[in-house]
């Protein structure tokens, strides 16, 4: 169910600049630490000889080209779920294309959950390593201030997360020009060194990467675990697509970001060839000493923006997971009048803040954090590739030959990245795996518990049709007005409606049973928003409405009811109607439905879910809650 009326967009140029400030921050700051990490691994096992330097530059360039330019920008961005991206959106898209009875139907959403979980691991590590790597540039320009790095980093991280409530539209307007300057500086710093030593351009040839691997297979394998740092942030291009759209991201990448990154990596390679001692911090040695402090300040701003890319992506992924039934109701705030994908999720924001701050204090340096980086990124790469190929075959009819032509090179490269990063597990690589495991456990526990509660609630409520028949045979008093009962479906009776009729012996003149349907698309057009069912009798004043919402939309029930009136579907005034919620109180039962610890986790999640009154935009003074207890 696609939204045929596209949401209004700002000018393409403005969106492209905004995308520079949100989408490309992560991958755009990789030059700060990628080559530095490669040449510092295991006591400088990668030498600063021309062969090794050209080999590393070639690996970096072709990794960026194949994974980012080809895979993400050319292919993955085509798999938009009504304009939205991200691994959960891709999983939902693939699920609609595969056969419901097939084995792949359940697999695609499991992969989506695992991919989203790994993305959260990336979202915690990226802000910490990015900000730390920039501030550590002070030690190059101003030796002796190393003790200030962690306190300054903690202060910057705090300000960054505190500013999220203003939204990515405001952030993008401010950060976009800063990142445009950043990429210009990257290009200029690189060009200066390339002009001084044009021989480094030979590193663009893929044969140097092949020679490096063949001559030093063991060293090259370990180095791949650091080379992957040059493409961290690629997933954010897809996850943040709903914030700006496909065209601005593609233009920003090919016309600005890709050329600037390539020139800067070449420049760092040329500098290392000229002076091997600069390999300990090649990026900051690119600039003259007089420009050291300004470069640190600009780098710090750029790394703040890098953090914004994954934070915005985490907001999008969280909302998608919630609407698809893998997270409890979240408080979501819309932050843009123009772009519906630009949102702020307070619970996710402050959870990430606590995690990032803890990492900052625990690891204390970007070099130590680099050992924890990579597994989450490479795992997400593999899952995204798998989901895309499933979707391309099921929805686009790709032949097996075409699937193999794209899939084999990507799988070989990404499996190598993943395997190389497995070597870092004992030195910190366990961290993103722990985070991903915790997030996946929460998602799968919520999905399982939600299904159990639905089963128990249906048993308790009883079927709707016999209840309506009972009302016809034993009429109850009718009171003036409209009663809106929010209820998951039309097979069972809303508890609040049953309580009103059996204990109070009254019902309202107009009874609307309203069900919310979260679709597998981000947005639903208003023409397809509402489905009416008179439940067999158009004259008994009991009507069922299904309100369809995409997983990126606010589920505003009064607005949808006003739309009912506009479209002459049912004459309801949402400004005078009373809203009834059937609140389910949960308790841990003795039935063996889930392990005891998972039951406790589910109950904790349910207890902290957003209030349905605020979530569905209901007026508090006209909302009545009636409930019952359900054991799981």
- In this predicted structure, what is the pLDDT of residue 544? 92
Q: For the chain, which residues make up each domain, given as ranges?
A: 12-124+167-291+369-428, 455-631
pLDDT digits (tens, 9 = 90+) for 209-266: 999 999 999 999 989 988 998 998 888 888 778 767 888 999 999 999 999 999 999 9
Residue 341: what are its φ and ψ, rounded to 5°? Answer: -80, -5
**pTM (2 decimals)?**
0.77
- In this predicted structure, what is the pLDDT of residue 369? 79
Asked if residue 439 has pLDDT above 80, the reply is yes
Q: Which two tokens stand for residue 295?
A: 């470069």
Distance between CA atoms of 161 and 350, rounded to whole angstroms?
Answer: 7
DSSP H helices in 330-463: 346-363, 366-370, 375-396, 400-422, 430-461
Which residue bears the tokens 């002076």?
275
pLDDT digits (tens, 9 = 90+) for 295-313: 888 988 888 777 776 787 7
pLDDT digits (tens, 9 = 90+) for 80-116: 877 778 888 888 888 888 877 667 777 888 898 998 8
Stretch 484-490: mean pLDDT: 89
Distance between CA atoms of 56 and 367, rounded to whole angstroms?
Answer: 18
Contact 295, 287 (CB under 8 A): yes
Distance between CA atoms of 440 and 327, rounded to whole angstroms?
Answer: 10
pLDDT digits (tens, 9 = 90+) for 39-66: 987 656 889 999 999 999 999 999 999 9
- What's the count of helices (H) and strands (E) in the chain, helices before strands? 27, 8
Distance between CA atoms of 624 and 232, rounded to whole angstroms?
Answer: 49
Asked if residue 416 has pLDDT above 50, the reply is yes
How far is C-alpha 119 from the geometric centre of its chain's CA atoms?
Answer: 7
CB count, 10 Å around CB of 499? 16
Distance between CA atoms of 76 and 380, rounded to whole angstroms?
Answer: 13
Q: Of 411, 410, 381, give the one whose Cα is nearest residue 111.
A: 381
Distance between CA atoms of 69 and 74, rounded to whole angstroms?
Answer: 6
Q: What percent of the chain has pLDDT over 70?
A: 92
Q: Residue 146: CB partners within 8 Å, gap ≥ 6?
A: 136, 138, 139
Beta pairing partners, 587? 631
Q: Residue 199: CB partners within 8 Å, gap ≥ 6?
A: 50, 270, 273
Distance between CA atoms of 379 and 377, rounded to whole angstroms?
Answer: 5
CB count, 10 Å around CB of 15? 23
Which residue bears the tokens 């009373």?
578
Range with the lowest mean pLDDT among 327-336, 557-566, 575-584? Answer: 327-336
Contact 190, 286 (CB under 8 A): yes
- In this predicted structure, what is the pLDDT of residue 8? 41
Stretch 476-503: mean pLDDT: 86
Distance between CA atoms of 285 and 590, rounded to whole angstroms?
Answer: 65
């Amino acid at each position: 169910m696609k939204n045929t009326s596209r949401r209004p967009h700002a000018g393409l140029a403005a969106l492209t600049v905004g995308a520079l400030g949100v989408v490309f921050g992560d991958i755009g700051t990789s030059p700060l630490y990628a080559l530095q990490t490669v040449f510092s691994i295991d006591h400088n096992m990668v030498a600063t000889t021309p062969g090794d330097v050209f080999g590393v530059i070639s690996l970096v360039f072709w990794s960026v080209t194949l994974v980012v330019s080809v895979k993400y920008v050319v292919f993955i961005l085509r798999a938009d779920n009504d304009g939205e991206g991200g691994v959960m959106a891709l999983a939902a898209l693939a699920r609609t294309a595969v056969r419901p009875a097939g084995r792949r139907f359940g697999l695609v959403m499991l992969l989506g959950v695992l991919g989203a979980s790994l993305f959260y691991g990336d979202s915690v590590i990226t802000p910490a390593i990015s900000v730390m790597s920039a501030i550590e540039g002070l030690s190059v320009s101003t030796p002796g201030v190393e003790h200030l790095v962690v306190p300054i980093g903690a202060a910057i991280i705090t300000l960054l997360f505190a500013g999220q409530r203003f939204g990515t539209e405001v952030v993008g307007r401010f950060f976009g020009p800063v990142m445009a300057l950043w990429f210009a500086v990257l290009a200029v710093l690189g060009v200066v060194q390339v002009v001084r030593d044009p021989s480094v351009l030979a590193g663009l040839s893929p044969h140097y990467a092949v020679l490096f691997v063949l001559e030093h297979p063991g060293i090259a394998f370990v180095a791949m675990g650091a080379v992957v740092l040059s493409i961290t942030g690629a997933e954010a291009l897809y996850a943040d697509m709903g914030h700006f759209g496909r065209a601005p991201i593609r233009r920003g990448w090919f016309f600005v970001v890709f050329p600037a990154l390539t020139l800067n990596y070449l420049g760092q390679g040329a500098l290392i060839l000229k002076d091997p001692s600069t390999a300990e911090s090649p990026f900051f040695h690119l600039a003259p000493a007089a420009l050291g402090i300004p470069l640190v300040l600009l780098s710090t701003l750029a790394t703040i923006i890098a953090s914004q890319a994954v934070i915005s992506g985490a907001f999008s992924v969280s909302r998608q997971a919630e609407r698809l039934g893998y997270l409890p109701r979240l408080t979501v705030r819309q932050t843009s009048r123009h772009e519906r994908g630009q949102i702020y999720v307070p619970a996710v924001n402050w959870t990430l803040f606590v995690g990032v701050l803890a990492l900052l204090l625990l690891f204390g340096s970007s070099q130590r954090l680099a050992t924890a980086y990579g597994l989450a990124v490479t795992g997400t790469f593999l899952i995204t590739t798998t989901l895309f190929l499933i979707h391309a075959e099921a929805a686009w009819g790709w032949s097996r030959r075409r699937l193999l032509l794209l899939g084999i090179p990507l799988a070989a490269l990404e499996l190598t990245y993943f395997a190389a990063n497995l070597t870092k597990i004992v030195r910190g690589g366990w961290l993103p795996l722990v985070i991903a495991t915790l997030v996946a456990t929460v998602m799968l526990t919520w999905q399982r518990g939600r299904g159990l509660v639905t089963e128990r609630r249906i048993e308790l409520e009883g079927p709707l049709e016999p209840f309506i028949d009972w009302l016809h045979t034993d009429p109850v008093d009718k009171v003036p007005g409209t009663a809106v009962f929010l209820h998951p479906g039309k097979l069972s009776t809303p508890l609040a409606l049953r309580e009103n009729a059996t204990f109070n012996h009254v019902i309202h003149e107009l009874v609307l049973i309203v069900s919310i349907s979260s679709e597998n698309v981000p947005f639903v057009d208003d023409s397809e928003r509402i489905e009416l069912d008179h439940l067999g009798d158009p004259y008994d004043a009991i009507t069922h409405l299904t309100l369809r919402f995409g997983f990126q939309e606010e589920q505003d029930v009064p607005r949808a009811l006003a739309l009912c009136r506009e479209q002459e579907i049912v004459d309801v005034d949402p400004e005078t109607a009373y809203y009834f919620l059937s609140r389910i109180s949960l308790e841990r039962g003795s039935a063996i439905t889930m392990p005891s610890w998972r039951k406790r986790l589910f109950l904790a999640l349910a207890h902290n879910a957003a209030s349905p009154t605020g979530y569905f935009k209901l007026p508090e003074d006209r909302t009545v809650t009636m409930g019952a207890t359900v054991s799981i």
